[in-house]
């Protein structure tokens, strides 16, 4: 007997093939049968009519930071609401394990680092996670049996360094014995099921004290030794962030990434490729590592988002504006001093000069303050400004846009929420995206879901992209869009029997209405431990989500079931050839 039967669905199976109508039966967490409508005679415990609805494999998000959130939110919201059934965590070199058992202060260091570098609420990290583990196996075991989605995790280079080197990890080099200890820890983590190694050398990544995170000090010899260890385990990967990921790679960064993947003999992915027709040279440069890697026997995959992710800014709290060269010192001052400096015309002029200089790189796009939209405000002086564009307000006041924006924020003691209007929402940029998506080493993803919680909301990229493909720009047909969200990441990670609707595969499924599929606007909610805020976006048109055959969501409401599994390398992943 079948556990559940979905009748008459329009099946988009993840292979890229054309849609077809079928009855799909589920038994013991797997897809038991895919048959022509009306031909099944085997009874089912439950049945539903899916006429007019699309049945697709559950979406796979290749870049998340749900490492902490899953402890207080086993449903990985809002990702699961938007059809995601599998998440990859432990990215960018940051993980919650291993933690040295004799240094309880390391847990506090990790919490403060995650709060700074990944924008996680410190109170949520303190109150929502029990921090009882030491080794990576204990961390994975702590999640097993309590999550609604499938989740796999890389092990973070920063955690390895901190465990072995202590406080010296942020500015020192390991001795040969310490490097051996790091390698042993990495082997132990992969034996336990870690998907491989993640690391960062990005200049934007600092710890809770404002110092470079530990892996930024690693020399190529250390990274290659760790990469070699990754290649000794079944079903493993590499994920790396370098400074050039945000704009354009240097020659040295290209050499490093190519050497890492070739040494490991494993795929390496990086996040995130920004596509903008105003900078046409960026995409060719960012694909040079992929081309060189293939010649060297490796593979490098660039993640890119198929939507423009809403991201808010503030002059009051840490955000991307702090990363503009020369801005961090001003924006780190106590609020009264910060307001005084920002109101100084010479200071503003210098900040604008730095923001518009070549050294600002990709952050130059944030400097067009005339295009900012005012979000939430908190003072009577700013009443009625929410939703208005700074350009219009500045014209009314006879001020330049940045001066106008500063005065608005100062009236709110810098609490004003600011929404920059994207500069790359033009037809030429969307045409360039469609062209770039055709490249064999480009993959959709990079949501950062679980991180930067009150600043951005990338999790809804799946539903928003599908809605755009069906009723918007229609850049790719539905069957290709689904493949890009399911089978492509599943194949990159070597997921066993996931990513397609096929007999014998795990029944990770999403049922949606093609006439309605979309994502609602990002709104600020206070539902994290400690009443901390985050941005949320409701899914539109998602009828049902199933993980390992069990329904976890119906009509945008979680069912309470937690059928997800911790996906462990080797057992749940196979080695992906880089040949």
pLDDT of residue 311: 85
Q: How far is CA 203 from CA 215, 245, 309, 491, in A?
A: 11, 11, 22, 31
pLDDT of residue 359: 85
Q: Give me the pLDDT at residue 363, please.
A: 87
On whether the CB atoms of residues 253 and 243 are closer than 8 A, the answer is yes
What Å distances lie between residue 302 and 152, 333, 458, 495, CA to CA? 19, 36, 17, 19
User: 3-state DSSP helix/strand/coil percent for the chain, to nearest 5?
Assistant: 35, 20, 40
pLDDT of residue 66: 98
- Helix ranges, 386-534 (H): 390-397, 401-411, 427-436, 461-471, 478-485, 487-492
Position 524 scores a pLDDT of: 85
Q: State the burial class of residue 21 (Cβ atoms within 10 Å of its Cβ: 0-12, 13-18, 19+).
A: middle
For residue 72, what pLDDT is reported? 98
Helix, strand, or coil here: 429? Answer: helix
Looking at residue 310, what is its pLDDT? 78
Tokens of 303: 């993640």
Which residues of the chain fall short of a pLDDT of 50?
Answer: none
pLDDT of residue 517: 98
Cis previous bond, 5, omega within 30:
no
What's the Cα-to-Cα distance from 177 to each of 165, 263, 325, 486, 527, rounded to whole Å? 11, 21, 38, 42, 45
Residue 352: exposure state from Cβ atoms within 10 A (0-12, 13-18, ≥19):
middle
Among the listed residues 366, 391, 357, the one whose alpha carbon sits nearest the alpha carbon of residue 274: 366
- Cβ contact 497:506 at 8 Å: yes
Q: What is the pLDDT of residue 423?
A: 86
H or E stretch at 288: helix 288-296
Tell me the pLDDT tens digit for each residue of 92-112. Answer: 999 999 999 999 999 999 999
- E strands along 143-227, which residues? 150-153, 155-156, 196-201
Give the residue among 567, 502, 509, 560 at the shortest CA–CA distance from 4.
Answer: 509
Q: Torsions phi, psi of 64, nearest 5?
A: -130, 175
Look at residue 161 in the predicted model and tell me its pLDDT. 98
Alpha-carbon torsion (107, 111, 116, 119), positive or negative: positive
CB contact set of 262 (below 8 Å; sequence gap of 6+): 293, 296, 297, 298, 578
Query: Strands 44-49, 2-11: parallel, antiparallel or unpaired by DSSP?
Result: parallel
pTM of the model: 0.95
Read off the pLDDT of residues 300-343 as tens digits, 9 standing for 90 and up.
999 999 999 978 899 998 888 998 999 999 999 999 999 999 99
């Amino acid at each position: 007997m079948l556990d559940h039967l979905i009748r008459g669905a329009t099946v988009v199976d993840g292979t890229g093939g054309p849609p077809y109508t079928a009855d799909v039966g589920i038994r013991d967490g797997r897809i038991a049968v895919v048959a022509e409508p009306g031909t099944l005679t085997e009874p089912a415990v439950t049945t539903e009519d899916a006429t007019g609805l699309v049945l697709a494999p559950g979406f796979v998000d290749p870049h998340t930071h749900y490492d902490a959130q899953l402890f207080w939110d086993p449903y990985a919201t809002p990702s699961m609401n938007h059809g995601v059934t599998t998440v990859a965590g432990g990215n960018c070199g940051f993980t919650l394990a291993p933690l040295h058992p004799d240094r309880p202060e390391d847990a506090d260091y990790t919490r403060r680092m995650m709060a700074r570098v990944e924008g996680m609420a410190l109170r949520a990290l303190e109150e929502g996670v029990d921090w009882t583990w030491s080794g990576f196996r204990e961390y994975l075991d702590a999640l097993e049996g309590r999550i609604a989605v499938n989740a796999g995790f890389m092990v973070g280079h920063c955690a390895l360094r901190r465990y072995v080197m202590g406080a010296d990890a942020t500015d020192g080099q390991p001795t040969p014995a310490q490097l051996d200890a790091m390698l042993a820890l990495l082997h132990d983590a992969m034996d336990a099921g870690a998907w491989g190694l993640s690391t960062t050398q990005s200049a934007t990544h600092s710890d809770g004290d404002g110092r470079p995170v530990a892996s930024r000090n690693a020399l190529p010899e250390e990274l290659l030794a760790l990469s070699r260890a990754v290649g000794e385990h079944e079903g493993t990967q590499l994920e790396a962030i370098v400074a050039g990921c945000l704009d354009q790679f240097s020659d040295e960064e290209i050499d490093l990434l190519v050497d890492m993947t070739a040494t490991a003999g494993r795929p390496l992915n990086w996040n995130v490729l920004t596509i903008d027709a105003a900078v046409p040279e960026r995409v060719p440069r960012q694909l040079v590592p992929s081309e060189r890697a293939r010649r060297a026997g490796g593979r490098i995959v660039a993640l890119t988002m198929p939507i423009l992710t809403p991201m808010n800014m503030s002059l009051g709290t840490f955000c991307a504006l702090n990363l503009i060269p020369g801005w961090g010192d001003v924006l780190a001052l106590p609020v009264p001093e910060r307001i005084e400096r920002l109101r100084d015309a010479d200071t503003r002029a210098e900040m604008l000069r730095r923001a518009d200089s070549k050294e600002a790189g990709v952050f130059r796009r944030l400097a067009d303050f005339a295009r900012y939209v005012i979000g939430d405000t908190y003072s009577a002086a700013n009443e009625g400004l929410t939703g208005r564009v700074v350009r219009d307000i500045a014209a009314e006041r006879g001020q330049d846009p940045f001066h106008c924006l500063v005065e608005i924020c100062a009236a709110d003691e810098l609490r004003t929420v600011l929404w920059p209007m994207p500069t790359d929402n033009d037809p030429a940029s969307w045409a360039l995206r469609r062209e770039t998506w055709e490249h064999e080493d480009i993959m959709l993803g990079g949501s950062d879901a679980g991180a930067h919680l009150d600043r951005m909301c990338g999790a809804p990229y799946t539903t928003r992209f599908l809605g755009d493909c069906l009723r918007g720009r229609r850049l790719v047909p539905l069957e290709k869009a689904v493949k890009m969200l399911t089978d492509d990441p599943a194949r990159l990670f070597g997921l066993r029997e996931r990513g397609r609707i096929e007999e014998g595969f795990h029944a990770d499924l999403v049922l949606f209405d093609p006439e309605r599929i979309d994502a609602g606007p990002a709104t600020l909610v206070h539902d994290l431990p400690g009443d901390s805020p985050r941005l949320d976006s409701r899914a539109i048109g998602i009828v049902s989500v199933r993980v390992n055959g069990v329904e976890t969501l119906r009509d945008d409401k979680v069912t309470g079931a937690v059928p997800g599994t911790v996906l462990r390398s080797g057992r749940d992943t196979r080695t992906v050839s880089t040949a």
